[in-house]
């Protein structure tokens, strides 16, 4: 694929995991990347690792910030741009503050999950769009396969990622006349430091592998290669898409997180409400 020499790309959540993996594919092909995240030490460590494999002329910068804080997002876009121009954004910042049955969920945890995944995406898109317009740039949001599949006990996370996808599909429609492309990636289970509790082995991993036709977990590089394609010049007629990178899990079903959720709530009747209400 053509090199990304001269490209300037902002990667949120870039200090670890999928964000760092996406940044690695971009700097390998010549892009200069600005990593945004909440922890400066983590950003600095990631930047050092990325510079070791960057192509000649590529560079890595950092900008500490929280994607749910509008001033921080504005500053990150400014830091990543040159003369107000930005070629791409990979918005990887996200997560979940809730696990368990929805009817037992803490409202603040659910609200914070939507704030992180939905509002973080919205704010980054809002402030990046004017910088992307002069070059017909590309915005890539990191969603999840659970945006399209139910996965018990991750309801807040799944719903917020589904909202992320719809927000970006609408943005693709609105921003098309400015030649800005907007797409999302739906990773499946990815082997990185954030998912070690699953990928190290056990019943949750087993439930994943049973639903993945390619019978392995993914890597950050699997996601990064698609992000690089969507940012680069080979995808100039691709917009409004939600593309799964999940080994085929979308063909089957979600994993079973009960082994993680049950210890937090116990074997109480609230799991199904059937015992509470006498329903059948």
User: Hey, what are 218's tokens?
Assistant: 């993914």
The CA-atom distances, in angstroms, between 230 and each of 9, 41, 252, 279 are 12, 29, 26, 48
> Which domain, by its residues, includes 91?
8-193+219-248
User: Hey, what are 193's tokens?
Assistant: 């430091």
Please report whether residue 142 resides in a domain: yes
User: Hey, what are 178's tokens?
Assistant: 């400015």
Q: How many angstroms separate the CA atoms of 214 and 211, rounded?
A: 9
Long-range residue pairs from 259-263, CB within 8 A, at least 24 positions apart, any chain: 259/202, 259/203, 259/204, 260/99, 260/153, 260/197, 260/204, 261/99, 261/100, 261/101, 261/152, 261/153
19-67 per-position pLDDT tens digit? 999 999 999 999 999 999 999 999 999 999 999 999 999 999 999 999 9
Residue 150 belongs to domain with CATH number = 3.40.50.720
pLDDT at 268: 57
211-263 per-position pLDDT tens digit? 999 999 999 999 999 999 999 999 999 999 999 999 999 999 999 999 988 88
What total of structural domains would you count in the chain?
1
244-257 per-position pLDDT tens digit? 999 999 999 999 99
Please report whether residue 260 resides in a domain: no
The one catalytic residue in 7, 157, 208, 257 is: 157
Helices (H), the chain: 17-28, 40-51, 70-80, 107-114, 120-132, 155-175, 196-199, 203-210, 220-231, 258-265, 274-277
Q: For residue 89, what are the β-bridge partners?
A: 10, 139
Question: What integer is the mean pLDDT of 166-172?
Answer: 98
Instruction: For the sheet with 242-245, list strands across it.
Output: 60-64, 32-37, 8-12, 88-91, 138-142, 181-187, 242-245
Please report whether residue 155 resides in a domain: yes
The CA-atom distances, in angstroms, between 245 and each of 76, 111, 164, 195 are 27, 27, 17, 16
Nearest Cα to 154, choosing from 256, 263, 273?
256
Catalytic residue list contains 157? yes
For residue 277, pLDDT over 80 is answered with: no
Distance from the first to the final alpha carbon of the chain: 57
Please report whether residue 257 resides in a domain: no
Please report whether residue 53 resides in a domain: yes
Percentage of the chain beyond pLDDT 90 is: 90
Please report whether residue 263 resides in a domain: no
User: Hey, what are 175's tokens?
Assistant: 């921003």
Please report whether residue 205 resides in a domain: no
Please report whether residue 3 resides in a domain: no
Cβ atoms of residues 242 and 232 within 8 Å: no
101-142 per-position pLDDT tens digit? 999 999 999 999 999 999 999 999 999 999 999 999 999 999
The count of other CB atoms within 10 Å of the CB of residue 25 is 24
pLDDT at 264: 80
- The pTM for the full model equals 0.94
CA 94-136-148 angle, to 5 degrees, is 35
Q: Which residue has the tokens 């439930």?
A: 207
């Amino acid at each position: 694929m053509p090199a990304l020499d001269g490209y300037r790309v902002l990667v949120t959540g870039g200090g670890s995991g999928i964000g760092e993996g996406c940044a690695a594919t971009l700097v390998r092909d010549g892009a200069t990347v600005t990593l945004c995240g909440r922890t400066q030490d983590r950003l600095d460590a990631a930047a050092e690792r990325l510079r070791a494999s960057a192509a000649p002329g590529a560079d890595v910068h950092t900008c500490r910030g929280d994607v749910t804080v509008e001033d921080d997002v504005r500053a990150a876009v400014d830091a990543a741009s040159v003369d107000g121009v930005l070629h791409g954004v990979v918005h990887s910042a996200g997560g979940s503050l809730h696990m368990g049955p929805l009817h037992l969920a803490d409202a603040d945890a659910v609200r914070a999950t939507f704030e992180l995944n939905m509002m973080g995406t919205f704010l980054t898109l809002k402030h990046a769009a004017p910088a992307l317009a002069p070059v017909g740039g590309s915005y890539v949001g990191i969603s999840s396969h659970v945006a399209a599949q139910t996965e018990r006990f991750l309801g807040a996370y799944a719903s917020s990622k589904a909202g992320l996808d719809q927000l970006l599909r609408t943005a693709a429609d609105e921003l098309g006349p400015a030649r800005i492309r907007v797409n999302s990636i739906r990773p499946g289970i990815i082997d990185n430091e954030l998912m070690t509790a699953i990928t190290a082995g056990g019943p949750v991993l087993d439930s994943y592998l049973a639903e993945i036709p390619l019978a392995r977990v993914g890597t950050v590089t699997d996601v990064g290669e698609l992000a690089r394609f969507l940012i680069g010049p080979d995808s100039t007629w691709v917009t409004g898409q939600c593309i799964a990178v999940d080994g085929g899990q979308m063909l089957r079903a979600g994993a079973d997180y009960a082994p993680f959720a049950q210890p937090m709530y116990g074997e109480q009747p609230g799991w199904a409400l059937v015992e509470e209400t006498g329903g059948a």
